[in-house]
Structure 1
Amino acid sequence: MRMRFLGSTSEAGACPTLYETDRGTIVVQGLQVTDAEALADLRDVLDGEGAVEVPRELLTRIARQVLRDDPANAFPTSDGAPTATG
Structure 2
Amino acid sequence: MEVTMLATSCDKKDCPTIYKTDRGALLVQGGTPVDHGLQIPAHETLVEIPLELFQKAIRDNLI
CA–CA distance in structure 2, aligned partners of residues 24 and 18 of structure 1 = 13
Aligned to 1:52: 47
- CA drift at 1:13: 3.1
Amino acid of the structure 1 residue aligned with 2:10: S
Tell me the residue number matched to 1:72. none
Larger strand proportion of the pair: 2
Distance 1:39 1:15, change over 3 A: farther
Which stretches in structure 2 are left out of the alignment for 5+ residues? none
Find the aligned partners of 2:13 and 2:32 in 1 and give their Cα distance: 17
Partners of 2:57 and 2:15 lie apart in 1 by: 15
Could you tell me whether the CA contact under 8 Å between 1:16 and 1:54 is conserved in 2? Answer: yes
CA RMSD in angstroms comes to 1.8
Show the counterpart of 1:26: 26
Structure 1 runs of 4+ aligned residues shifted over 3 Å read none
Q: Determine the C-alpha separation between the residues in 2 that align with 1:24 and 1:39.
A: 31
Q: CA deviation at 1:10?
A: 2.8
Percent identity, please: 34
Using the size of structure 2 for normalisation, the TM-score is 0.79
Structure 1 stretches of 5 or more lacking a match? 68-86
In structure 2, give the amino acid aligned to 1:59.
F
Greater fraction of residues in helix? 1
